[in-house]
């Protein structure tokens, strides 16, 4: 049964029961390989004239359920699981961006992503062009004939200003450039594909897994970008691919739907880079997904209450959460978020860096960890951790000031979260 409701999709999409054992829960197919029925069957699988399991680096039945479920949740046509969120971003970009090409990215990014774009992709000969998302037109201005995609996060911390997905996706479409959106911080509450994004990536490590047990990522193809129409920009999809005996991806998979991008990512990028998700982790993410719609609601409700509490505290000079925003930032949040405003909060202490460290060291309930999206409430000081490898200018561009503290609000009882924050603030 098809449903449009995330609560149902998260439990049912892509699976009913095991065909031989009737198992209700998705089994963990902890296998590297799959026996071929015959040499003809094997040859057909390798030539893609038949689709089926070959080797777990490229596909796995447990992982396939996660891929289908997350694609359904995001309103995409197909998914491709990865070993981490970083791997999902890397493959999402290198699938269509090669040496000599460039892509345009929002400046408001997770520090690890910034670092990969700035320092690693540049060694591949891929240029990142950073633009300020306050001005969507900057994406158009930075585009030339070698621009292969735009990249942004839906709800980037530390600024927590929702990215103008709709405006930038439209600019991209007018120029033949697809928008890739990292929706890690806003599953369920934002559906970037509905706003025009072509590709969505997630670090499933965060809210999707939700329990802080496993590292993983996913790429979801919206199936809504016309690669053939913009064939001169995407020869890797519309011209014979020498890495797969001359396959033309937009032709090869046409009978299966608009999945040229994601099939190429699977059978060339994943095959060659080997960034596969383990079947066990796929199982953990499937478990996490079952309660994702419920958890996100609880995370967001708690976060709004924490933001309100901090906003009224005498030692806090600034609180960052979409519920407290005004003007264009408020408009963008309203336009793109539905059912919650996210569970990340930033705040600045009057006492600066020293007060920030003291506050973190005084927490008793909140964990001091480099993670977000756990069921538990978490806190960190980005300038000395997640954004440490950026120079001071880059940190400021990303919105990380010395006294900034980031909270990822969990689903404990709100009274206990606020009581812990209160005692830690008193100890400064």
Using CB under 6 A, pick the residue from 161, 167, 182, 348 that binds ligand PLP: 182
Using CB under 6 A, pick the residue from 215, 260, 300, 398 that binds ligand PLP: 215
Nearer to ligand PLP, 110 or 117 (CB): 110
Nearer to ligand PLP, 202 or 233 (CB): 202
CA distances from 241 to 1, 54, 121, 178 (A): 38, 21, 22, 20
The window from 139-147, 181-189, 229-237, 257-265 that contacts ligand PLP (CB under 6 A) reads: 181-189
The window from 56-64, 80-88, 188-196, 350-358 that contacts ligand PLP (CB under 6 A) reads: 80-88
Nearer to ligand PLP, 105 or 203 (CB): 203
**Per CB under 6 A, which of residues 109..138 are in contact with ligand PLP?**
110, 112-113
**Per CB under 6 A, which of residues 307..366 are in contact with ligand PLP?**
none
Integer Cα distance of 206 and 375 in angstroms? 9
Q: Is 205 in the site for ligand PLP (CB under 6 A)?
A: yes
Integer Cα distance of 120 and 227 in angstroms? 27
Q: Is 84 in the site for ligand PLP (CB under 6 A)?
A: yes
Nearer to ligand PLP, 118 or 239 (CB): 118
Nearer to ligand PLP, 188 or 425 (CB): 188
Instruction: Tell the smallest beta-carbon distance from residue 158 to ligand PLP (Å).
Output: 11
Nearer to ligand PLP, 66 or 253 (CB): 66
Instruction: Tell the smallest beta-carbon distance from residue 201 to ligand PLP (Å).
Output: 8
Instruction: Tell the smallest beta-carbon distance from residue 24 to ligand PLP (Å).
Output: 29
Mark residues 391-420: x for contact with ligand PLP by CB under 6 A, - for none: ------------------------------
Residue with tokens 């200018």: 393
- Total chain residues near ligand PLP (CB under 6 A): 15
Q: Is 217 in the site for ligand PLP (CB under 6 A)?
A: yes
Binding-site ranges for ligand PLP (CB under 6 A): 84-86, 110, 112-113, 153, 182, 184-185, 203, 205, 215, 217, 372
């Amino acid at each position: 049964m098809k449903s449009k409701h995330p609560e149902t999709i998260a439990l049912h999409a892509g699976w009913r029961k095991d065909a031989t054992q009737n198992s209700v829960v998705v089994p963990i197919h902890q296998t590297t390989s799959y026996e071929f029925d015959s040499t003809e069957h094997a040859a057909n699988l390798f030539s893609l004239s038949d689709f089926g399991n070959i080797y777990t680096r490229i596909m796995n039945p447990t992982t396939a359920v996660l891929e289908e479920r997350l694609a359904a949740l995001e309103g995409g046509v197909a998914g491709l699981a990865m070993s981490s969120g970083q791997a999902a971003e890397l493959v999402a970009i290198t699938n269509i961006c090669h040496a000599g090409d460039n892509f345009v990215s929002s400046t408001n990014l997770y520090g690890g992503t910034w670092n990969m774009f700035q320092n690693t992709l540049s060694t591949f000969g891929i240029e990142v062009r950073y633009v300020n998302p306050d001005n969507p037109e900057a994406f158009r201005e930075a585009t030339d004939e070698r621009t292969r995609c735009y990249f942004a996060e839906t709800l980037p911390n530390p600024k927590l200003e929702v990215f103008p997905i709709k405006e930038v996706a439209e600019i991209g479409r007018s120029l033949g450039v697809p928008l890739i959106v990292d929706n890690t911080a806003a599953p369920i509450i934002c559906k970037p594909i509905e706003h025009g994004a072509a590709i969505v990536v997630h670090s499933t490590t965060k809210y999707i897994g939700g329990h802080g047990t496993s590292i993983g990522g996913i790429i979801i193809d919206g199936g809504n970008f016309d690669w053939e129409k913009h064939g001169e920009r995407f020869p890797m999809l519309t011209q014979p691919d020498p890495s797969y005996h001359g396959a033309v991806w937009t032709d090869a998979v046409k009978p299966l739907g608009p999945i040229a991008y994601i099939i190429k990512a699977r059978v060339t990028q994943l095959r060659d880079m080997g960034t596969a998700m383990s079947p066990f982790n796929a199982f953990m993410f499937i478990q996490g997904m079952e309660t994702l719609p419920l958890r996100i609601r609880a995370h967001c409700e708690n976060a709004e209450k924490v933001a309100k509490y901090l906003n009224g505290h005498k030692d806090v000079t600034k609180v960052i959460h979409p519920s407290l925003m005004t003007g264009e930032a408020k408009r963008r949040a309203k336009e793109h978020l539905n059912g919650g405003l996210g569970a990340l909060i930033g705040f600045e202490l009057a006492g600066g860096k020293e007060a920030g460290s003291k506050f973190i060291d005084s927490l008793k309930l909140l964990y001091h960890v480099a993670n977000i999206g756990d069921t538990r409430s978490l806190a960190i000081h980005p300038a000395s951790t997640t954004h440490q490898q950026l120079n001071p200018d880059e940190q400021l561009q990303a919105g990380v000031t010395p006294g900034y503290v980031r909270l990822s609000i969990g689903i404990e009882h709100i009274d206990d979260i606020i009581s812990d924050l209160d005692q830690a603030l008193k100890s400064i």
